A and B are shown apart, each in its own frame.
Chain A
Amino acid sequence: MAPKLLKALYPRSGEQDPMTTQAIYLDYAATTPVDSRVAAKMIPYLTERFGNPASRSHAFGWAAEGAVELAREQVAALVNADPKEIVWTSGATESNNLAIKGAARFNSARGKHLITIRTEHKSVLDTCRELEREGFTVTYLDVEASGLIDLDKLAAAIRTDTVLLSVMLVNNEIGVIQDVAAIGALCRSKGVLFHVDAAQAAGKVEINLETTPIDLLSLSAHKIYGPKGIGALYVRRKPRVRLEALIHGGGHERGMRSGTLPTHQIVGMGEAYSIARAGMAAENERIRWLRDRLWAGLSAMDEVYLNGDMDARIPHNLNVSFNYVEGESLLMGIKQLAVSSGSACTSASLEPSYVLRALGRSDELAHSSIRFSIGRFTTEAEVDTTIVLVTEAVAKLRELSPLWEMVREGIDIESIQWASH
């Protein structure tokens, strides 16, 4: 992150501030800072233009409504949709819940079978689990070693009672891009509704809903320099997709999502999407250059593996396993870097990343993985520092690793029968 920004946030640096020891932010897939241009647009809607967009009887309400509708156009424009197809939510998690539960429940008379993918975000997987408790049946499709879906396997999984398929456009952990155009065409031909979680995709890959047969699409603001707490669900009008609402009270958003609209959040999302649309091509090119530089530096080490397909991948993501080094200990060694690990030790579960395991990665490699995600404010100098820090930490930890020593001595670790604990 820009040192200037850090300084502005923490003028007395060094005082109990966890961010001063993590000067380099490479976790843009987790969240992004709000772009200052976005924040500037939002502020008036907190103070002067505070009206309720649902107030139809005075200028305060009209001003807020106008801002909300402009933002709706900005969001729709990024994905080439009609603004009327955009429903505001609290974020992509809610959008996924509304899309999947809403469509499944509304169409339950037609069938009670859903299909999703093992590598989906928890907000999709947990929602499907909830529907299973309600009596739906869910098929959790495997992915290939690349992280991508095999269309033939998907076609084989579709049944006569299948009502909905949910697939993410870009995976949050490994950044791979699914071929939603082909998947959508298959769904259309079989009469199956198609939901796409695009939280990690918007502003990074082209999305054209006019030409792509997607029925429902989840969007988030905070992954592309907008505020947290706001998202949207695209609900196709032609052919019309109908949902059962999750939140009732007032009939906002055409009955699909009640609740007073958070005007400032919506304005922020609209501005963030507008900036993303204008700058996407150039930004992707710059980020790809940084990503290639980072990968060239990291892959100079032995026993370093990229997780997920390199070609069908957003340039923002690099998910790397450093074999014979445990991910959490590596994070400790690179405290200056804000990155995330697929190692189990970061959570209470002791299970390594289910996404990496779904690719068929061994537990060892899953435990050794780090996700680097690059964004708008990443600099070349930050990438170069990252390469040095990671290389040093990996070398140090491999010196400490009995596995590395055994490999160096020519012992095949796979041949050892380890007792699990």
Chain B
Amino acid sequence: MAYSEKVIEHYENPRNVGAFGKEDEDVGTGMVGAPACGDVMRLQIKVSADGIIEDAKFKTYGCGSAIASSSLVTEWVKGKTLAQALEIKNTEIAEELALPPVKIHCSILAEDAIKAAVADYRSKHDSIETEAPICAPVA
């Protein structure tokens, strides 16, 4: 399969690889996908006191498009409010990376990872129950 230059670029130079402390108060962690499906993304966001995403980290098990999608969203969420981050749509990710139709699920997973990370952060800060994302690990 031929990859777009942007996918290859992110694959070769992935941005913001790593981890924050999962238990840290200012960190939200979203892990989506499943090993059996061939991709697992973990996106972490570090949120400032005024609700801005200051930093983001990821680790991904998956194909090149999954790695590129998660690498890209770590760049995109930085500097955004939680509400703004939630506005990132999978279609924008797919368009930016020129993903072919069979790889659209990678961009959907990246969008889900943002939702899961934001939901995790919010659950640490308000007692309000937030809706669980579709692909999060159940336990």
* Residues on A facing B (Cβ under 8 Å): 324-326, 328-329, 332-333, 343-346, 348, 350, 352, 362-364, 367, 399-405, 413, 416-421
Contact = CB atoms under 8 A, between A and B. Distances in A.
B27 to A, nearest CB: 15
A421 B17 contact: no
Nearest to B112: A421
A404 B42 CA distance: 12
A346 B105 CA distance: 14
A144 to B, nearest CB: 22
A345 B35 CA distance: 13
Contacts of A418: 33-36, 40, 137-138
Interface residues of B, number: 36
Given A332-B11, A363-B35, A421-B109, A400 B138 contact: no
Contacts of B102: 348, 350
Contact of A421 (B33, B42, B138): B33
B79 interface: no
Interface of B: 1, 3, 8, 11, 14, 17, 19, 31-42, 59-64, 66-67, 102, 105, 109, 134-139
Contacts of B37: 350, 363, 420-421
A367 B35 CA distance: 9
A421 B1 CA distance: 23
Contacts of B33: 418, 421
A367 B60 CA distance: 14
Given A332-B3, A416-B139, A326 B34 contact: no
B62 A329 contact: yes
A418 to B, nearest CB: 3
A326 B17 contact: no
A63 B37 CA distance: 57
A417 B63 contact: no
A402 B136 CA distance: 14
B135 A326 contact: no
A402 B38 contact: no
Contacts of A405: 19, 59
Contact of B63 (A328, A401, A420): A328
A333 B135 CA distance: 27
The 7 closest A-B pairs by CB, nearest first: A418-B34, A363-B36, A402-B59, A328-B63, A345-B63, A402-B42, A364-B35
